[in-house]
């Protein structure tokens, strides 16, 4: 299979911070907002270099979303920053009315998404955010897989005119995408061509999918691995092309199976090319405290879970 090298573990939120640093230097319309989580969102360099373009709103996320909507009136491109739970569930109606329905060019940037937030536990580990955001008409939903891709996505969404939800995480994970890879919204990336099964993964699960692919190869199974960083709009053609070749699919994400990437793909395949599918996702449950690795293991979100799902789905062809 195609070899991917970890260039050194790093957190995707630092990719966001690096992207913001670059935007601060290249796009004078970009402004940043934060609800008392500057350190967690890694945007101190942006703030130091552009103090007049940073808005610290305090612990008041609803107000932050409204202010962001207002800042677009006058040509600013606001990037809001807080944890994923407080970026979505806490402020759903503010996003719905003042941003999505109003068609405002706000970038909702959400760190600490999913179960890998770890020890803080279920109050902070949102596993429903992709579903909440993808249901809003006109909202773009992006979940990059590593530091380099998060940085590239952050920079790319500034050039897109419309509301975007950008989801990333807390832990240091493998950084393996090319440093100069251009980020195209809505364009899936083929990571490994295979013939027996399609594995479509998003976010932290992409590296797990590559690990699973390697282990499967040793068992004589040829897996095709696709990185879907944009959940909405979905690159349906890339998925269809792959399943027409392999005849079965496993979807993998750090999210509830209800409302996530897997559900989007299942809905698309049901109407266009019905295909056996297995979901690697949380099973309609809240998380709990623990280390990211322990939680990924317990909730069935690692490479072993993907391998198991592959073996199962292949029997259903």
Whether 227 and 243 have beta carbons less than 8 Å apart is answered as no
Which residue among the candidates 61, 208, 278, 307 is catalytic per the annotation?
A: 61
Least distance between another protein and beta carbon 90 (Å)? 11
Q: For another protein, give the closer residue by CB, 92 or 257.
A: 92
Instruction: Examine residue 68 and tell whether it contacts another protein (CB under 8 A).
Output: yes
Whether 162 and 138 have beta carbons less than 8 Å apart is answered as yes
Measure the CA–CA gap between 104 and 116, rounded to whole angstroms: 31
Instruction: Examine residue 283 and tell whether it contacts another protein (CB under 8 A).
Output: no
Among 39, 58, 89, 274, binds another protein (CB under 8 A): 58
Least distance between another protein and beta carbon 34 (Å)? 13
Instruction: Examine residue 51 and tell whether it contacts another protein (CB under 8 A).
Output: no
Long-range contacts (CB closer than 8 Å, 24 or more residues apart) made by 41-44: 41/13, 41/16, 41/17, 41/81, 41/82, 41/109, 41/111, 42/11, 42/13, 42/14, 42/16, 42/17, 42/18, 43/16, 43/17, 43/81, 44/17
Among 3, 5, 51, 74, binds another protein (CB under 8 A): 74
Stretches 60-68, 209-217, 247-255, 275-283: which one binds another protein (CB under 8 A)?
Answer: 60-68
Instruction: Examine residue 81 and tell whether it contacts another protein (CB under 8 A).
Output: no
Among 18, 20, 23, 31, binds another protein (CB under 8 A): 31
How would you class 108 by CB atoms within 10 Å of its CB: exposed for 0-12, middle for 13-18, buried for 19 or more? buried
Least distance between another protein and beta carbon 231 (Å)? 23
Q: For another protein, give the closer residue by CB, 60 or 179.
A: 60
**Neighbour count for residue 291 (Cβ, 10 Å):** 12
Instruction: Examine residue 62 and tell whether it contacts another protein (CB under 8 A).
Output: yes
Paired tokens of 74: 């006058």
Any catalytic annotation for residue 307?
no
Among 19, 24, 78, 169, binds another protein (CB under 8 A): 78
Stretches 57-65, 190-198, 290-298, 309-317: which one binds another protein (CB under 8 A)?
Answer: 57-65
Query: Which positions from 198 through 217 interact with another protein, judged by CB under 8 A?
Result: none
**In this structure, what DSSP letter does residue 52 have?**
G
How would you class 235 by CB atoms within 10 Å of its CB: exposed for 0-12, middle for 13-18, buried for 19 or more? buried
Instruction: Examine residue 161 and tell whether it contacts another protein (CB under 8 A).
Output: no
Stretches 58-66, 170-178, 239-247, 297-305: which one binds another protein (CB under 8 A)?
Answer: 58-66
Question: What does each C-alpha distance from 35 to 42, 67, 133, 211, 246 come to in angstroms?
Answer: 13, 12, 19, 36, 46
Measure the CA–CA gap between 91 and 56, rounded to whole angstroms: 17
Q: Which helix (H) or strand (E) segment is 281 a member of?
A: strand 277-282
Look up tokens 């004078």; give the residue. Answer: 28
Q: For another protein, give the closer residue by CB, 98 or 148.
A: 98
Binding footprint of another protein on the chain (CB under 8 A): 31, 52-53, 55, 57-58, 60, 62-76, 78, 93-94, 96-98, 101-104
Positions marked active-site = 61
């Amino acid at each position: 299979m195609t070899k991917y090298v970890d260039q050194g573990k790093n957190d995707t939120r630092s990719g966001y911070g690096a992207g913001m640093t670059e935007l601060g230097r290249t796009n004078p319309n970009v402004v940043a907002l934060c609800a008392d989580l500057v350190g967690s969102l890694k945007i101190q360099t942006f703030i130091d270099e552009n103090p007049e373009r940073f808005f610290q709103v305090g612990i008041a996320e609803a107000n932050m979303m409204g202010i962001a909507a207002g800042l677009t009136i006058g040509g600013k491109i606001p990037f809001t920053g807080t944890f994923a739970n407080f970026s979505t569930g806490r402020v759903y109606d503010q996003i719905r009315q003042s941003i999505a329905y109003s068609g405002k060019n706000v970038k909702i940037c959400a760190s600490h998404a999913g179960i890998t937030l770890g020890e803080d536990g279920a109050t902070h580990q949102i596993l429903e955010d992709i579903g909440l955001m993808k249901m809003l008409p006109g909202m773009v939903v992006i979940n990059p897989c590593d530091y380099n891709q998060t940085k590239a996505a952050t920079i790319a969404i500034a050039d897109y005119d419309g509301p975007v939800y950008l989801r990333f995480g807390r832990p240091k994970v493998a950084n393996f995408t090319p440093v100069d890879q251009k980020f195209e919204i809505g364009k899936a990336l083929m990571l490994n061509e295979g013939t027996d099964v399609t594995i479509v993964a998003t976010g932290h699960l992409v590296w797990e999918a590559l690990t699973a692919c390697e282990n499967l190869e040793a068992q004589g199974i040829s897996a095709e691995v696709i990185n879907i960083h944009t959940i909405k709009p979905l690159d349906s053609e890339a998925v269809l092309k792959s399943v027409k070749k392999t005849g079965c699919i496993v979807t993998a994400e750090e999210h509830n199976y209800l409302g996530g990437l897997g559900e989007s793909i299942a809905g698309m395949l049901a109407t266009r090319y019905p295909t056996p599918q297995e979901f690697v996702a949380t099973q309609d449950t809240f998380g709990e405290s623990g280390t990211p690795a322990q939680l990924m293991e317990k909730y069935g979100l690692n490479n072993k879970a993907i391998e198991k799902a592959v073996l199962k789905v292949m029997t259903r062809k």
